[in-house]
Amino acid sequence: MKEKQYVVDELTLKDTWRMFHIMAEFVEGFEVMPEVYPAVTIFGSARTGRRTKLYKTTECIARMLVENGFNVISGGGPGIMEAANKGAAEAGGKSVGLHIELPKEQKPNQYANVRLAFKYFFIRKVMFIKYAVAYIIMPGGFGTLDELFEALTLIQTKRIRSFPVILFDSNFWGGMVKWLNKTLLRKGTISEPDLDIFQVVDRPEDVIDIITKTVVI
């Protein structure tokens, strides 16, 4: 009985100290992130190679955003995140990297000129959402889908203001969009207006056009 009580006390103690770490990450984010307004968050795969067309396209989009008065936020790691930070930094904008501490992967890229490190995914998500005026979703994996559907859910339920959510590359996202229409919409688990929360495009110019026409700085 005493042994069980000791285990419970240890868990409670760890949770108590964890709260201080959580508060510290929130405070640091709330102090730094307002300085990057207006910013557009770009998500995508950490596995995208530097020589790929997608990497270069992401660089181009980030550069064009800066040229149109926006800063850029990414996850701060490799792949699409690095391309976004590189394009923004080389164009002279604020290039924000919100790095997540993971055991075996994702080292910070060298192009973020504003850096924050997070231990907790949910705090990082708050920073992505709270300080972005638009989301650009490049092809990616589970993490990218997580960020995408988090934003769609919050906009759908009116927990946050509506802002542009742009999926880039119709070939990549087409199957998912078809599934949303053929399965979720038909089954009634979403409604038609929910499908208007996001847009799918194939050209960097279309991304910039949507954001500049929708977002008032």
The segments of the chain whose pLDDT lies below 50 read: 1-3, 6-7
Domain count, the chain: 1
pLDDT for the residue numbered 56 = 98
DSSP string, 159-179: SS----EEEE-HHHHHHHHHH
Distance in angstroms (rounded) separating the CA atoms of residues 182 and 198: 17
Residues 6+ apart with CB under 8 A from 91: 62, 63, 66, 67
Q: How far is CA 161 from CA 133, 148, 196, in A?
A: 9, 15, 15
Report, in angstroms and rounded to the nearest whole number, the Rg of the chain calculated over CA atoms: 19
3-state DSSP call for residue 95? strand
pTM of the model: 0.90
**Looking at residue 65, which CATH number applies to its domain?**
3.40.50.450
pLDDT for the residue numbered 15 = 76
Domain range spanning residue 97? 2-214
